[in-house]
Chain A
């Protein structure tokens, strides 16, 4: 054994290098946690407004979303610029259920679950909206409701950006159902339903 000292030092260096490598790996893990890409809503200093998500150029029309011609009714609730009396598609049970669900999510906070205008936010001080059961609104064309949901009205803000057009129509169908519920007489029901109701009272 001529000189064991350097070998010991070499071993010590290897251990240290190993430890350093381990630490470096811990560092890698962090790098992979945060990769050089933007997640939704991530901020950036690349754009002046600090947002990584960009807005389309003003006036951009999504493909198939042209609010003119045959699509005018579906996307605006209007026909030739006038609020439409008719719907762009026929109602089904599924559409009505969907309409109820969407109405309860987005409309009921103010309009109440039955459309009387007594929702929780109104109880907390928001200006009371008109009842959906008043004559003016019972007689309003379907396209009117679609337009109000899309663009808002009075103190009501637009909901178009979070309720897609098919859902808006489903909501309008459901509003019609709510309105009908206050006007329907027992004679409007199918025979079987009438019997069920009358059977219950006798």
Chain B
């Protein structure tokens, strides 16, 4: 009986056995790289909104406090999206003819809320509460990034579990004094770790890493 396979197939067989391991490894690596791109994580992607609301203008240039609009952030799990009435507090008098603001006026006229596109969200199996984070000295910009410099709002962090745990295992890396929590331009001091450890004691901050802290 004649040989079915040529001698060279031996080489191909060997190469493909080891090659498969390498290829699978490379695929895994590529998948990991892709998973960290903003295409997947949505980090740094400005989301189109029904009204091109600029945090840079309102929180940065005008210096409005975050809580002027997100007024439930200190007492609730949700930071609170402002009702159209809050927009109209100023825009009933300012930029009243601006085309850009027509959806705001229409919303006020018709009592129909504006459907903003959500930028930051954790999955439904995560329990998250804004108020406790603020009370323990986690600043707005720690998670939301330089909001006062964003024209159209983008997500600053992945909000992945790995990212949450980075702080939950070592809060001293990020804590700031309560008086600075809403400071949109806060810069951590050089001795952040010392400050963080001091604040952990003062604010009774624990390293909460039990599954049930967030997955209830």
Contacts and interface: CB of A to CB of B under 8 A. Distances in A.
A39 B124 contact: yes
A106 B68 contact: yes
A33 B112 contact: no
B68 A161 contact: no
A28 B112 CA distance: 34
A88 B125 CA distance: 44
Interface of chain A: mostly helix, strand, loop or mixed: loop
Interface residues of B, number: 26
Given A40-B78, A105-B67, A161-B83, A126 B125 contact: no
A121 B62 contact: yes
Contacts of A121: 62, 90, 94
A126 B93 contact: yes
Contacts of B68: 105-106, 109
Contact of A34 (B86, B89, B112, B124): B124
Interface string B63-88: 11101100110000110010101101
Interface size bracket, A side: 20 to 34
Contacts of B71: 162-163
B interface secondary structure, majority: loop
B38 interface: no
B93 A155 contact: yes
Given A124-B94, A161-B83, A109 B125 contact: no
Given A43-B115, A155-B93, A124 B62 contact: yes
B35 interface: no
A51 B113 contact: yes
Interface of B: 62-65, 67-68, 71-72, 77-78, 81, 83, 85-86, 88-90, 92-94, 112-113, 115, 123-125
